[in-house]
A and B are shown apart, each in its own frame.
Chain A
Amino acid sequence: MFSNIICAALCGMGVIPVQIQADISNGFPSYTMVGYLSSEVRESRERVTAALKNCGYRIPAKRITVNLAPADFRKGGTAFDLPVAVAILTSLGALSKDDVADIAIFGELSLDGTVLPVRGILPMVNGLLKEGVKRFIIPEGNSGEGRLIKDAEVWCAGRLDDVPLILAGKKERLEACDVSVNTPEYEEDISDIESQSVLKRGLEIAAAGRHSFLMVGPPGAGKTMTAERIRSILPEMSGQEVLEVSEIYSAAGLLPAGGMITERPFRAPEPSVSERTVTGAGHLPVPGEISLAHRGVLFMDEMEEFRPAVLDAVRKTLEEKFIAATVNRRSAGFPCDYMLIGAMNPCRCGYYPDRNKCVCSRREIELYRRKISGPLLDRIDMTLAVENVRISDTGAKTGVSSAELRDNVKRAWDIQRERGYRGGDSNSSMTQADIKKHCAFTADAESMLTLLAAKKDLSMRGMSRVVKVSRTIADLAGSSIIDTEHVAEAFSYRGITTDFWRI
């Protein structure tokens, strides 16, 4: 007898519905699985037979064929165990075909019949919802993310035995809950940093326009401590953003027990990471570091030490906000709309331009700087000098608190969102057309810009960097028109230029 169960596979963040078909016919006893399977799926044969046996089902000595369609897409992961078991039970007649016709089932089986959590439940269920599937059985361990699913009937299965009960209507449905958006409490606060008003101002501006920035300073200056605090001045994520980020973490199998990511991600990969880990692209793509930093912060300490391929991937995705990949000729990308924070020393010894300490030759300094390519530097909006950042030992707070800055930043974000940029919803993602439309200057500011461009050798990209940042500074000041003070301040953050590391 033949049966069919709905399941799904992830292809990037996209979802491919998978039909799990089982057929039991007379013939020499055998159990075959087909459908372009990776080895963890093929191994499910052993898990399924053991689980069925241990739950009291007897597998008849017949010819069992299991097929996972579409057969031209390579299937990985462990979510197919439970649906395969259910398909076999249905073919055996233990379950009714009509009961399982419109329900999607996910879950890994352990040998004793326990259902184990799997990765990617949230995006897979949401994807199938769009295909018109309304009923789902998910592992008990994934109940957290299950609650986030709206307009669907979701049940949790703790054991294989639960499935017949669910189908018979003898188990409670999972209650959906709303995405809670509270301002997260961060341990680190910007007011822990002693004095440093210029640096704090820089952080505020960067956060307000979601501008990527590079921190340059001698070793031990406090670059990491500073980066860790940027999150505390970013506004909380909207419900939509929480879902987006949670989906990515679900696909990566990194979702916490609560089932939701409510804090903006802060990812700080080591300089030795491979391109694969950072982008997540490969023959079976999983979200990489840049996607895990989606809607949050990607912090690259010792940026110059990263592999050129990694830096190149960062360069490409900074503007595109999407990392493309393909699996079996299907596009399988991940979103990666992150704010980049880089940190590096000004030279190998770290003390330039203090010539009493710095022993690097001009050439060494130049070579050091060149480790970060011009095109990447061009896409980093701001550069901040970091020196002697001290975190107060006594817990004393100085200057503005994160909460105050966050309010300012939030106001600026609201202004930017209302404008409806083509490129995105922050100043950093303005396109040339957006700049033309939304950046009005006073006459003085206009002439200052022209003079700066001519005298200080600003490239086109360099110019638009200054313009974008000055737009943010004006937004923070609540000014719709950009004035000289905004341009002048933006100019001071413009960062690395040709005479930057000159001797």
Chain B
Amino acid sequence: MDIYDVYLGLCCCVSLGCRKASELLETAPDKNGLFDGDLKGMEKAGIITGLMRSEMEKWSSEAFRNGIKQEMERKGIRFVPQFEKGFPLLLKETELCPLGLFVSGSLPGDDELCIAVIGSRGCSGYGRSNAFSISKELAEGGISIVSGMAAGIDSAAIRGALEGGGRAYAVLGSGVDICYPVENFDIFDKLTTRGGIISEYPPGTEPLSWHFPVRNRIISGLSKGIFVVEAAEKSGTSITVERGLEQGRDIFALPGRAGDRNSEGTNLLIREGARAAWKASHIMSEYGLDLPEKVIKSQKSHLDNMEKLVYSTICCTPETAEAIAERTGLSMKTLYQVLVRLQLKGLITEIGVQQYVLA
């Protein structure tokens, strides 16, 4: 069996897990013959379990291997083993690096600067719009965004990066042919051409709950820095940050209002020494990059005085029409018209019932 097949096999036998697979590979006297060795003996010696053995035995059949490879080809999925050129160097240096990655689309290049943008699923409007706009600006500045594809911050970040014309990579806790959660099917399609969908799990793997914390090490491993947008005090985000710190990554956090549940975690990170960042430039300057000349500013100068007045009172926390009217002193009649115009210009959006936030 050639070495590519061995690596692919070790990744396809999901029951092995990354740690056991690496161990087997290291201790094997003949790497190419790993699958043809005395598997029963290994089971008896307690090196592998019965489930692992049966999976490995299956893999040793050439017909089975070809079947899997054909399926991958049909779905346009590549497998990039650790030793191959093209496997991200940044990730390769980390502890417990996967033996290979399944990818639909492409992997980040070694000269590409990747920033992970992560945060909670049940985020607030504040988190979502910041994740979106900062990722968008980062993308415009040539930085690629790495994220999970979960609801909330993760998908907002990917949407922002795509909107900014940049590249984005989603690291999944399932096979790369499974779009989870389904609502994200629109970005799922775009990612294959404008970045990549990456996973250490073989195609067809279900999104099981214990996969997600494990895949977080890949998110941090692929990135130079980790930008935490919103996180409650205890969350999956903290796992990514922990892995990132072990891997020596820079940690950025979006400061939030004291007392906001969703900003507990990020504020705590800042207190512990993460860099506070609320603009793309805060992150970019860290890597000696500048923001490109802005063109979006012109959009706001199109606003008439009344629109500016209303726009200035709308922020990332939902605001009722009544509160806006009170603050601006406009009559409801005028306010409704201004709100519609601002919505048509795509600057604000309605959330809940008659509550407005920045788009």
A interface residues with partner B (beta carbon < 8 Å):
196-198, 201, 216-217, 346, 352-356, 358-363, 383-385, 387, 448, 451-452, 455-456, 484-485, 487-489, 491-493, 495, 497, 499-503
* A465 CA to B122 CA, complexed, in Å: 32
Query: Do the beta carbons of A356 and B318 come within 8 Å of each other?
Result: no
In the bound complex, residues from chain A placing their C-beta under 8 Å from that of B337 are 484-485, 488
* A216 CA to B320 CA, complexed, in Å: 13
Is residue B30 within 8 Å, beta carbon to beta carbon, of the partner chain?
no
| Additional A-B contact list (5), CB under 8 Å, known A384-B353, A500-B353 | A355-B261, A488-B336, A500-B352, A501-B352, A503-B123
Query: Do the beta carbons of A385 and B355 come within 8 Å of each other?
Result: yes
Q: How many A-B residue pairs have CB under 8 A?
A: 107
Query: Do the beta carbons of A353 and B352 come within 8 Å of each other?
Result: yes
How many B residues touch A, CB cutoff 8 Å?
A: 36
In the bound complex, residues from chain B placing their C-beta under 8 Å from that of A216 are 352-353
Query: Do the beta carbons of B122 and A361 come within 8 Å of each other?
Result: yes
Is residue B344 within 8 Å, beta carbon to beta carbon, of the partner chain?
yes
- Among residues of B, the one whose C-beta sits closest to the C-beta of A214 is B353
Is residue B262 within 8 Å, beta carbon to beta carbon, of the partner chain?
yes
- Among residues of B, the one whose C-beta sits closest to the C-beta of A199 is B322
Tell which of B126, B320, B322, B355 has the most Cβ of chain A within 10 Å: B322
Query: Do the beta carbons of A201 and B332 come within 8 Å of each other?
Result: yes
Is residue B49 within 8 Å, beta carbon to beta carbon, of the partner chain?
no
- Our pick among B122, B325, B354 for the contact of A360 (Cβ within 8 Å) is B122
* A6 CA to B165 CA, complexed, in Å: 85
Is residue B151 within 8 Å, beta carbon to beta carbon, of the partner chain?
yes
* A197 CA to B323 CA, complexed, in Å: 11
Query: Do the beta carbons of B352 and A448 come within 8 Å of each other?
Result: no
> For chain B residues 81-109, which have a beta carbon within 8 Å of chain A?
none
* A85 CA to B243 CA, complexed, in Å: 93
Is residue B211 within 8 Å, beta carbon to beta carbon, of the partner chain?
no
Known A355-B124, A384-B353; contact A492-B321, beta-carbon cutoff 8 A:
yes
Known A451-B344, A485-B337; contact A356-B260, beta-carbon cutoff 8 A:
yes
Query: Do the beta carbons of A356 and B125 come within 8 Å of each other?
Result: no
Tell which of B122, B318, B322 has the most Cβ of chain A within 10 Å: B122
- Our pick among A363, A385, A492 for the contact of B336 (Cβ within 8 Å) is A492
Query: Do the beta carbons of B336 and A346 come within 8 Å of each other?
Result: no
- Our pick among B128, B344, B351 for the contact of A452 (Cβ within 8 Å) is B344
Query: Do the beta carbons of B351 and A500 come within 8 Å of each other?
Result: yes
Tell which of A346, A487, A489, A499 has the most Cβ of chain B within 10 Å: A489
Is residue B249 within 8 Å, beta carbon to beta carbon, of the partner chain?
no
In the bound complex, residues from chain B placing their C-beta under 8 Å from that of A501 are 352
Q: What distance in Å separates the Cβ of A169 from its nearest Cβ neighbour in chain B?
A: 67
Tell which of B123, B343, B344, B353 has the most Cβ of chain A within 10 Å: B353
* A360 CA to B123 CA, complexed, in Å: 10
- Among residues of B, the one whose C-beta sits closest to the C-beta of A387 is B320
- Among residues of B, the one whose C-beta sits closest to the C-beta of A362 is B151
Q: What distance in Å separates the Cβ of B94 from its nearest Cβ neighbour in chain A?
A: 31
* A456 CA to B346 CA, complexed, in Å: 10
Is residue B265 within 8 Å, beta carbon to beta carbon, of the partner chain?
no
> For chain B residues 49-95, which have a beta carbon within 8 Å of chain A?
none
* A361 CA to B232 CA, complexed, in Å: 14
Query: Do the beta carbons of A198 and B121 come within 8 Å of each other?
Result: no
Tell which of B260, B325, B336 has the most Cβ of chain A within 10 Å: B336
- Our pick among A198, A346, A385 for the contact of B332 (Cβ within 8 Å) is A198
In the bound complex, residues from chain B placing their C-beta under 8 Å from that of A346 are 352-353
- Our pick among B121, B181, B333, B354 for the contact of A385 (Cβ within 8 Å) is B354
In the bound complex, residues from chain B placing their C-beta under 8 Å from that of A217 are 353
Q: What distance in Å separates the Cβ of B344 from its nearest Cβ neighbour in chain A?
A: 5
Is residue B288 within 8 Å, beta carbon to beta carbon, of the partner chain?
no
- Among residues of B, the one whose C-beta sits closest to the C-beta of A483 is B337
Query: Do the beta carbons of B318 and A354 come within 8 Å of each other?
Result: yes
Query: Do the beta carbons of B259 and A356 come within 8 Å of each other?
Result: yes
Q: What distance in Å separates the Cβ of B337 from its nearest Cβ neighbour in chain A?
A: 4
Is residue B32 within 8 Å, beta carbon to beta carbon, of the partner chain?
no
Query: Do the beta carbons of A355 and B353 come within 8 Å of each other?
Result: no
> For chain B residues 311-359, which have a beta carbon within 8 Å of chain A?
318, 320-322, 325, 332-334, 336-337, 339-340, 343-344, 346, 349-355
* A402 CA to B260 CA, complexed, in Å: 40
Is residue B244 within 8 Å, beta carbon to beta carbon, of the partner chain?
no
- Among residues of A, the one whose C-beta sits closest to the C-beta of B339 is A492
Is residue B166 within 8 Å, beta carbon to beta carbon, of the partner chain?
no
Q: Mark B110-141, 1 if CB is under 8 A from A, else 0.
A: 00000000000111111010000000000000
* A499 CA to B359 CA, complexed, in Å: 11
Query: Do the beta carbons of A491 and B332 come within 8 Å of each other?
Result: no
* A495 CA to B181 CA, complexed, in Å: 26
In the bound complex, residues from chain B placing their C-beta under 8 Å from that of A387 are 320
- Among residues of A, the one whose C-beta sits closest to the C-beta of B123 is A503
Is residue B152 within 8 Å, beta carbon to beta carbon, of the partner chain?
yes
Tell which of A356, A493, A501 has the most Cβ of chain B within 10 Å: A356
Q: What distance in Å separates the Cβ of B224 from its nearest Cβ neighbour in chain A?
A: 28
In the bound complex, residues from chain A placing their C-beta under 8 Å from that of B333 are 485, 489
- Our pick among A196, A356, A360 for the contact of B262 (Cβ within 8 Å) is A356
* A484 CA to B339 CA, complexed, in Å: 12
Which 6 A-B residue pairs are closest in the complex by CB-CB distance?
A355-B124, A385-B353, A488-B336, A488-B337, A488-B340, A353-B352
In the bound complex, residues from chain A placing their C-beta under 8 Å from that of B122 are 355, 358-362, 503
* A499 CA to B322 CA, complexed, in Å: 21
Query: Do the beta carbons of B354 and A353 come within 8 Å of each other?
Result: no
* A208 CA to B333 CA, complexed, in Å: 17
Q: Mark B162-189, 1 if CB is under 8 A from A, else 0.
A: 0000000000000000000100000000
**What are some 21 contacts across the A-B interface (CB < 8 A)?**
A198-B320, A198-B322, A198-B325, A346-B353, A353-B124, A355-B123, A355-B124, A361-B121, A362-B151, A363-B181, A384-B354, A385-B354, A387-B320, A452-B344, A489-B332, A489-B336, A492-B321, A492-B350, A500-B350, A500-B353, A502-B351
Query: Do the beta carbons of B125 and A355 come within 8 Å of each other?
Result: yes
* A197 CA to B125 CA, complexed, in Å: 26
- Our pick among A363, A383, A385 for the contact of B320 (Cβ within 8 Å) is A385
In the bound complex, residues from chain B placing their C-beta under 8 Å from that of A356 are 124, 259-262
Query: Do the beta carbons of A455 and B121 come within 8 Å of each other?
Result: no
* A249 CA to B40 CA, complexed, in Å: 84
> For chain B residues 262-288, which have a beta carbon within 8 Å of chain A?
262
Known A353-B351, A353-B352, A502-B351; contact A452-B340, beta-carbon cutoff 8 A:
yes
Known A198-B321, A385-B320, A503-B152; contact A352-B121, beta-carbon cutoff 8 A:
no
